[in-house]
Structure 1
Amino acid sequence: MHLTRTARVVLGVLMAAGLAVVHVPLLLVVLNSFNADRSFAWPPSGLTGEWWVRAAHSQGVRDALWTSLQAGLAATAIALVLGVLAAFAVHRHRFFGRQTVSFLVVLPIALPGIVTGIALNAAFRTVLDPLGIGFGLFTVIVGHTTFCVVIVFNNVAARLRRIAPSLAEASADLGARPAQTFRYVTLPALRSALFAGALLAFALSFDEIVVTTFTAGPGTKTLPIWIYENLARPNQAPVINVVAALLIALSVIPVYVAQRLSSDSAGGRL
């Protein structure tokens, strides 16, 4: 479609304005994490690394970071197993209710987080309380897995649709066992999709707060929960900016790597 020069300029300005609305506040958070003024006066009176040092020595921040890492890694690992199995079942086999299974797997990512959180909270109270299992890291991991599975499932399913079934058939014709076909043919074709799905799932789990609020116990605090609880404490404001900047970095890096992997794969470099 051919656009006039005026149309291109207008679209460029609108795109720049939209990106600015989204990303300028994030840049301000990063800048304020180095702002020497505790009240964040603008322009900054100076730059300092003091708040980063305080954050590094804060036991609450370290504990929350460790909890987020545990929850994110565990949820991602479980999601990889369940998401890959579900994707293979739906896209490599024909059975009654196949579309229904696909819909149910994807549904959690479409539901509002507060609905998922309330549903999981009620389910845990009904099922786990009689077994003596309270709210804690385990319930947070289960809650995060419900939506991390969708990310892995979508990535693997999209890649499976681009892999010709004839490749596996040719491998079998040459005498390869199913395990060998998976190792030497299917897995190399899926590797980047698995890695991208895992990175996106981890990023989504790491900064999740709504579902975590309903599934975490009193002593279980992830990094987003710690930030939310300390927002009302003025003396913690500089440290909160540091933690928020850390969250931005830990979210942007996996998403960027996953996007590069996806674009490379789309270009044919598996």
Structure 2
Amino acid sequence: MLRLSLAAKIGLGAIVAVALAFMYVPLFLVVFNSFNEARIATWPVTDFSLQWWGKAFTSEPIRAAILNSVVVGLGATAVALVLGTLVAFALQRFTFFGKQSVNLLVVLPIALPGVVTGVALNNTYNQILEPIGIQVGYFGMIIAHGTFCIVMVFNNVLARLRRLSPNVEEASRDLGATPWQTFRLVTFPQFRSAFVAGGILAFALSFDEVVVTIFTAPPGVDTLPLWIMNQMARPNEASLVNVVATVVILASFIPVWVSQRLSRDPADRD
């Protein structure tokens, strides 16, 4: 076991404290300013008020932006769950020519800068599909998000499949179960937690995406990140942005916690 000196422990503790402060102090400032009575964000907050919370919950543009983000996120997650799981099974269970190339192509969208993906899809929609009469519209934004959300499901499911023993499936088939029965009753329960965790992470990634959305969103359609970005150019709307950001911060703890719980091996869970 590695033993650290007292000075090393203090130094590492200080570094960790600085890093955590750097990440979370700005978030606390956003939360405090959401209760600021002033229209423009200030520090320190001298007068507290709930007026901006009331305006945020009755704002039609905010509700529409949240609805768009949820719909696009659910659509992209559905695409990612189906395609990511199928590709994970194909790469884990079969050997074929170009297997490593397929693996690379699936993971590549998450490594590409968002602006590159956005420009590529925008050119495809506007210069290839629209001239032949195909209007992708809202659906095009879902497909755009799905391209990088697939990686979240793929990685989670593939990692779990690699740890599964094929003996249980073979026993199921020996007992007369059909392939569908084996998958439904034996295989899927073994990777279900990774499947759900990947879906949660895919939804969170889609909900937060802004760069690709800028290039693929139909005219007049705002997701929540786009709405926040547009409002940041208006200093008088900073308090509303802080309220929305606070709600997103609090809501983000739920999928992160659930995905971490589900990604753990059953034997390691409390």
For this structure pair, what is the TM-score category when the shorter chain's length is used for normalisation?
A: over 0.9
Match runs of 1:66-215 below 5 Å: 66-134=67-135, 136-215=137-216
Deviation at 1:235, TM superposition (A): 2.1
Deviation at 1:46, TM superposition (A): 2.8
Give the corresponding residue for 1:13. Answer: 14
Match runs of 1:44-55 below 5 Å: 44-55=45-56
Count of aligned pairs:
269
The answer to whether the Cα contact below 8 Å between 1:87 and 1:156 also exists between their aligned partners in 2 is yes
Deviation at 1:269, TM superposition (A): 5.0
The answer to whether the Cα contact below 8 Å between 1:108 and 1:116 also exists between their aligned partners in 2 is yes
Deviation at 1:128, TM superposition (A): 2.0
AA aligned to 2:172 is S
Q: Deviations over 1:199-248 (max 9, x none)?
A: 10000000100000011121111001011111121221110111122222
Q: Deviations over 1:85-118 (max 9, x none)?
A: 0000010111111111111001100111111111
Deviation at 1:153, TM superposition (A): 0.3
Please state whether the residue corresponding to 1:78 is helix, strand or coil. helix
AA aligned to 1:258 is S
| Identity value in percent | 55
The answer to whether the Cα contact below 8 Å between 1:203 and 1:250 also exists between their aligned partners in 2 is no
Name structure 2 gaps, 5 residues minimum: none
Asked if residue 248 in structure 1 is aligned to residue 246 in structure 2, the reply is no
AA aligned to 2:123 is A
Deviation at 1:151, TM superposition (A): 0.4
In 1, distance between residues paired with 2:115 and 2:267? Answer: 38
Deviation at 1:135, TM superposition (A): 5.7
In 1, distance between residues paired with 2:125 and 2:214? Answer: 13
Name structure 1 gaps, 5 residues minimum: none
In 2, distance between residues paired with 1:36 and 1:83? Answer: 47
The answer to whether the Cα contact below 8 Å between 1:208 and 1:224 also exists between their aligned partners in 2 is yes
In 2, distance between residues paired with 1:121 and 1:252? Answer: 33
Give the corresponding residue for 2:58. Answer: 57
Structure 1 residues 269 and 237, CA gap change in structure 2 (3 angstroms)? closer
Structure 1 residues 247 and 133, CA gap change in structure 2 (3 angstroms)? farther
TM-align CA RMSD: 1.6
Please state whether the residue corresponding to 2:162 is helix, strand or coil. helix
Deviation at 1:268, TM superposition (A): 4.6
TM-score, normalisation: structure 2: 0.95
Please state whether the residue corresponding to 1:99 is helix, strand or coil. helix
Give the corresponding residue for 1:22. Answer: 23
Q: Deviations over 1:141-169 (max 9, x none)?
A: 01100000010000000000111111211
In 1, distance between residues paired with 2:11 and 2:122? Answer: 48
The answer to whether the Cα contact below 8 Å between 1:135 and 1:216 also exists between their aligned partners in 2 is no
